[in-house]
Amino acid sequence: LMASHPGLVVELVPMVTRGDVILDTPLAKVGGKGLFVKELEVALLENRADIAVHSMKDVPVEFPQGLGLVTICEREDPRDAFVSNNYDSLDALPAGSIVGTSS
DSSP string, 35-71: TTTHHHHHHHHTTS-S-----GGG--SS--TT-----
Give the Cα separation of 28 and 100 in Å (integer): 15
Let me know if 99 is exposed, middle or buried by CB neighbors in 10 A (0-12, 13-18, 19+): exposed
95 CB neighbour count, 10 Å cutoff: 4
Active site residue 58: yes
Catalytic residue among 58, 77, 88, 91: 58
Residues annotated as catalytic are: 58
